[in-house]
Amino acid sequence: MKRYFFLLLMPMFAWGQNLRSGGALKPEQAIMDIRHYTIALQVDPEKKTINGYTEIELNLSTASPVLVLDLWHGLTVEQTWVNGKKENFTHTKDDLLTITGAKPFSAGKVKIKVMYGGTPGVALRAPWDGGFTWSTDSKGNPWVAITCQAEGGKIFFPCKDHPSDEPNEGADLIITVPKGLSVAGPGLLKKVTNTSTTSTWHWKTNYTISNYCLVFNIGKYSKVTSTYTSVLGNKIPMEFYVLEEHAEKGPHHLEVLAQTCRVLEKYFGEYPWAKEKIGIAETPHLGMEHQSMNAYGNQFNYTQVGGQDFDWLLTHEFGHEWWANKVTNIDWAHMWIQEGICSYGDALYVREMEGEEAYQRVMRRHAQNAQNKKPIVQGEVVDSDDTYHSDIYGKGALFMHTLRYVIGDSIFFPTLKILATDSRYTYHNFVSTKDVEQLFSARSKTNLQPLFDFYLRTTNKLEMNVKQIGEGKYAVKVVNFEGMMLPVEILADGVNTLYKLDKTPLLIESKTLPQIDPIGFYLKRVIYE
């Protein structure tokens, strides 16, 4: 397994500014509960433009003189309507679209329609930065992709750009492209309407969906299909929108994906979007976790894990169907939940296919690569740029490895599955670090807050002191951690023994220098005196 996690998904914006998603929720948006998006756009790959409208259905908890949406100022808004009535608006360089009524908008159901268009920003280095990728395949056919995790869906449609609010009733994407091209999108394909020059693809999802997943890909695609039988026995369609020139690779690639799904279902429960599909689309960039239509661009570069073809990109992005898309952090401050646990799932795939020792090697590499430059959780309200750094991947995965060791497999794995399946934490509900801590604490009947705080809210490593106090006698203690005792294995005279350690010295008798945590369950520093 390569050390790849920190390379995925984030943030440089190629349009002369650095757009950020999330952060402090605007008061005017805090009273808005988004229910549904309809995005209807005509895409012209030759001119590299989009034109059309977006409808936003929402519930307003209290009357308000304005309605505030996020939309990149480089697009031109032509008109806005609220509940069918034209209303005045301003669209400013801080990417805010503010609609003002002649009188305050009443509490209750509100439907906004925004007519807009223009030239969307270009992602110069997708998926690390957001925007449109206007590319072509080897035969010169248009090949278009959108990435916007760090910047948010506002780069091409008006929305409430905050991770804490997803459309409870799903979304519709109605995308018109030149005839002969296909559009791959989330949910189920409702219909394709053709004219002499265009094709309009209507995709619909009834699930909640984050705004950065509400995207589409365009290409000269072949659709390769299969059927997956889930862990609960449900038949789920598999669809791979693959470039026509790579169509022969499609069936095997779906087999590789099915194997990944089987392993992840064992640990995390049934595939989250079983009522719709398992979908992937070939893209000109590396990849992204777009709900029920993951972007894939790793060019079928397989390695071997457990004697079978394995694609790290496919597995990692597919893991986000659970961690990010189904289990969603309430604020970017808690992004480690989706990235760290998803990365831990990558290691569990290795464990399932090659055994415990192979899994342990992955974890040791995570420990070696931990940067510890800033905490994984830096507060409760953080925007996408500030929260993002490499440790939310590897150190986040390592924390789950440590948590598994501290509470034991019989508690850890069932609790992890509860986090991935219980309605309190999934779909339209959102989670924070505190929610995860309280769940694992309750299930283990242990106050795990000190461990969560130490690993996630500081940059400290555990310091363990080994002091020789006599011939063949050593005092071992934890120096910089308190609040609970930690299980620690100590290798002495060739025997690995489990002890409980805190700041009180533990006497160890050994003819050889004791080795602390020899397998590597902790991110630690051992000091010998």
Specify if 213 maps to a domain.
Answer: yes
Token pair, residue 77, equals: 């808004």
Specify if 214 maps to a domain.
Answer: yes
Token pair, residue 120, equals: 């969307």
Task: State yes or no: pLDDT of 6 exceeds 60.
Answer: no
As a whole number of angstroms, the distance between CA 490 and CA 502 comes to: 14
Is 135 found in the same domain as 237?
A: no
Domains identified in the chain, total number? 4
* 3-state class (DSSP) for residue 329: strand
Task: State yes or no: pLDDT of 220 exceeds 90.
Answer: yes
Specify if 507 maps to a domain.
Answer: yes
**Per-residue pLDDT at 19:** 86
328-329 vs 430-431, strand pairing mode: parallel
Specify if 357 maps to a domain.
Answer: yes
Specify if 323 maps to a domain.
Answer: no
CB < 8 Å & 24+ apart, contacts of 182-185: 182/218, 182/219, 182/220, 182/221, 182/223, 182/241, 183/216, 183/217, 183/218, 184/216, 184/217, 184/218, 184/219, 184/221, 184/241, 184/279, 184/281, 184/293, 185/215, 185/216, 185/217, 185/293
- Of 421, 437, 457, at which residue does a domain stop? 457
Token pair, residue 399, equals: 């924390």
Is 209 found in the same domain as 109?
A: yes
76-82 vs 108-118, strand pairing mode: antiparallel
- Of 171, 191, 219, at which residue does a domain stop? 219
Is 169 found in the same domain as 88?
A: yes
**Per-residue pLDDT at 129:** 86
Is 490 found in the same domain as 378?
A: no
Task: State yes or no: pLDDT of 2 exceeds 60.
Answer: no
Is 17 found in the same domain as 152?
A: yes
**Per-residue pLDDT at 124:** 87
Domain that holds residue 288: 227-318
Specify if 24 maps to a domain.
Answer: yes
Q: Give the bridge partners for 223, in sequence order.
A: 241
pLDDT tens per residue, range 226-257: 999 999 999 999 999 999 999 999 999 999 99
Specify if 57 maps to a domain.
Answer: yes
- Of 318, 337, 365, at which residue does a domain stop? 318
> DSSP state, 84?
T
Short-list 162, 108, 131, CA closest to 50: 131
Is 255 found in the same domain as 192?
A: no
Is 214 found in the same domain as 79?
A: yes
Question: What CATH number does the domain containing 305 carry?
Answer: 3.30.2010.30
Close Cβ partners of 392 (under 8 Å, ≥ 6 residues apart): 335, 336, 339, 340, 376
- Residues 258 and 226: beta-carbon distance below 8 Å: yes
**Per-residue pLDDT at 7:** 40
As a whole number of angstroms, the distance between CA 6 and CA 22 comes to: 20
Question: What CATH number does the domain containing 380 carry?
Answer: 1.10.390.10
**Per-residue pLDDT at 18:** 59
Is 236 found in the same domain as 112?
A: no
| DSSP character string of 400-466 | HHHHHHHH-HHHHHHHHHHHHH-TTSSTT-EE-HHHHHHHHHHHHTS--HHHHHHHHH--PPEEEEE
pLDDT tens per residue, range 89-128: 999 999 999 999 999 999 999 999 999 999 999 998 899 8
Is 484 found in the same domain as 396?
A: no
Give, in degrees to the nearest 5, the angle at Cα 320 between 161 and 145. Answer: 60
Q: Which amino acid is at 406?
A: V
Residue 451 Cα distances to 334, 446, 447, 486, 526, angstroms: 16, 11, 9, 9, 18
Question: What CATH number does the domain containing 478 carry?
Answer: 2.60.40.1910
Is 394 found in the same domain as 473?
A: no
Dihedral over alpha carbons 365, 367, 372, 377 (to 10 degrees): 100
Average pLDDT over residues 198-209: 98
Is 164 found in the same domain as 243?
A: no
* 3-state class (DSSP) for residue 15: coil
Close Cβ partners of 286 (under 8 Å, ≥ 6 residues apart): 8, 126, 127, 297, 298, 313
Is 158 found in the same domain as 28?
A: yes
Short-list 153, 150, 60, CA closest to 107: 60
